[in-house]
Structure formats: C-alpha cells, structure tokens
Amino acid sequence: MTQDTLIAVIGGSGIYDIDGLDDASWTSVTSPWGAPSDQILTGRLNGVKMAFLPRHGRGHVHSPTDVPYRANIDALKRLGATDVISVSACGSFREAMAPGDFVIVDQFIDRTFARDKSFFSSGCVAHVSVAHPTCPRLGDACEAAARAAGINVHRGGTYLAMEGPQFSSVAESKIYREVWGCDVIGMTNMPEAKLAREAELCYASIAMVTDYDSWHPDHGAVDIAEIIATLHGNSDKARSLVKGLPARLGAERTACPHGCDRALDNAIMTAPDKRDPELLAKLDAVAGRVLG
C-alpha cells in the first residue's frame, strides 16, 4: 500500500522558511493541543508535497522551553505529513564536528524538565519505544542530500537535549562530553522526537554545529555573535539539503521498513471502556489509526 509523501521540515534558529516551493502558501492549522509555533508553509518541491514549520515562529518568538511541541507535531500529522526532518542549531563536543558541519543525529539524552513530553496521559495510557528515536531511511536521504550539496556531514551522534535558555557551564559541558559521551548539545529536539514517534511519523534530526559549547580550551565560552554568523552560513546549507530531499524520498512511499509508522501497535494499555472520551477526541490525528 502506498500513500502520498509529505515531507515536513521543522526549521530551527536562523531558518524561518524554505525556498523554491511551487504553489507556496502559509496555512493555519488548528490543533486541540494549542496553537502551533506559527502558520505552516505548504507547497510542492519538484512535484513532492512539502510543509515547513518554523519551530520558534517567524521572528523567533518562542524560547526552547515554550515551543508548543505537541501542537506542532499534531498539526503536521493533521496536514498529512509522512516524514519529519528536524533542522536545529547545536553545540559540538567533538573536535572533528566543527562549526559549519552537520550531524545526522541517531540518539538522544533528554535533560529537559519543563515540557509536556507525551500526547498520552491518565485516561489513555501508552508506552512507545524510543530505543531508536530516528528513522534510518530518512537519515540515509538526509546524508545523501547533504553530501550532494557539498556539506561536511557526520552520520550518527548523540544529542544532549538541555532545558535552556542558558548555555552550559564548563563543568556541565565536560560531563556531557567526557563522562556521558555525547556528541552535540541543543535545546529543541526533545520532546519533539518522542512526540513524532508517538504520532507514528518518521523523524530525522539534522544538527547544524555553530560552536564548541564551553568545553574547548581554545574557544572559551559560547559567543552569540559567532553563533549568529555561523547560523547564516548553515541556513544556506540547510536550504540546499532540503532541495535534494524530494528526489530521494519520492512522491509516493510505502510502509516504513523500520516500523516508525506503526509505533502505536500494542502501545496503548488503557482498556477501551476506561478511556477518557475527551482525551480520545484530542488524539484523533495522532492515534486515529489504532483508536479507530
């Protein structure tokens, strides 16, 4: 069974739109989980349906903690998204992952604590595996598109998600790097990746390195001016990468070979007669496949 591909891009700091869309328009999507970060830019790129959501809103109005993650993922699901590409700025814990490089993340450590992390709760309890939180098929497409665009890209890495909005202390940075073995650090991929999995969406994370956090003896503390300068260059690279995705993912797709689109199979624990009707109504897009 096939379905139309709809590639949804969630843009991070410095990326507030994408270029070259045919029939482009900003669309308002209503979600029972609140208002998304912004309207969603929809259109087609080389014949493939595309959607773009600026994570922080145009003008960067949402802090990492205040991004409406549940509304964003729900809104993309309602639009018919099949594949979600997350693009975000990050710091690096590895000398080889230098500012200007991209990292296709495959693991996360979640250190956030002030965010709603699940669509499910009392009244409809579900436990979804995020052992492998990103989709290798999407990762392959992102890697190929990055290399074709001439981007220095690293395949695989662990992303430490911190609450923010402040950057790390030197002590924290050294722990994340030397003790926990993390590769990059950012503030926005959690709970985004967890929610995408609950919504049965294939998800890939592209971390754009802007700095060396605060561990590096030759670079000192994070410098906002340097980050902004690197962001501008990274934004151009990210747009080039996105333009290469439709050809690699195609206008139609079959079931995900890694099961991302079937993540809710056997996940819902609450007995049918004990489920909260109000919560079920809010889950109509995210879990409609299994809730009927």
State the pLDDT at residue 217. 77
State the pLDDT at residue 224. 67
Annotation says 110 is catalytic? no
H or E element that contains 11: strand 6-11
- What CATH number is attached to the domain comprising 107? 3.40.50.1580
Annotation says 273 is catalytic? no
Q: How many domains does the chain have?
A: 1
DSSP letters of 98-110? Answer: -TT-EEEE-EEEE
pLDDT digits (tens, 9 = 90+) for 65-93: 999 999 999 999 999 999 999 999 999 99
Chain centre distance of CA 103 = 13
State the pLDDT at residue 256. 97
Residue positions counted in the chain: 292
Residue 27 has pLDDT above 90, yes or no: yes
The values of phi and psi at residue 72, to 5°, are -65, -50
Task: Pick left, alpha or beta for residue 163 (phi over 0 → left; psi -120 to 50 → alpha; otherwise beta).
Answer: alpha
Question: What residues form DSSP beta bridges with 91?
Answer: 185, 211
Residue range(s) defining the domain that contains residue 94:
3-291
Is the pLDDT higher at 242 or at 14? 242
Which residue among the candidates 213, 236, 261, 265 is catalytic per the annotation?
A: 213
Residue 178 has pLDDT above 80, yes or no: yes
State the pLDDT at residue 216. 81
Mean pLDDT in the chain?
94
- Taking the C-alpha atoms of residue 84 and residue 134, their distance in angstroms, rounded to an integer, is 10
Residue 198 has pLDDT above 70, yes or no: yes
State the pLDDT at residue 220. 60
* Strands 40-45 and 48-54, bridge-based pairing: antiparallel
DSSP letters of 250-288? Answer: -SEE---TT-GGGTTTTTB-S-GGGS-HHHHHHTTTTSH
Residue 254 has pLDDT above 80, yes or no: yes
Q: Which two tokens stand for residue 127?
A: 């436990």
Q: Contact, 136 vs 204, CB < 8 A?
A: no
pLDDT digits (tens, 9 = 90+) for 43-65: 999 999 999 999 999 999 999 99
Which residue among the candidates 83, 211, 223, 265 is catalytic per the annotation?
A: 211
Question: What residues form DSSP beta bridges with 204?
Answer: 85
Residue 223 has pLDDT above 70, yes or no: no
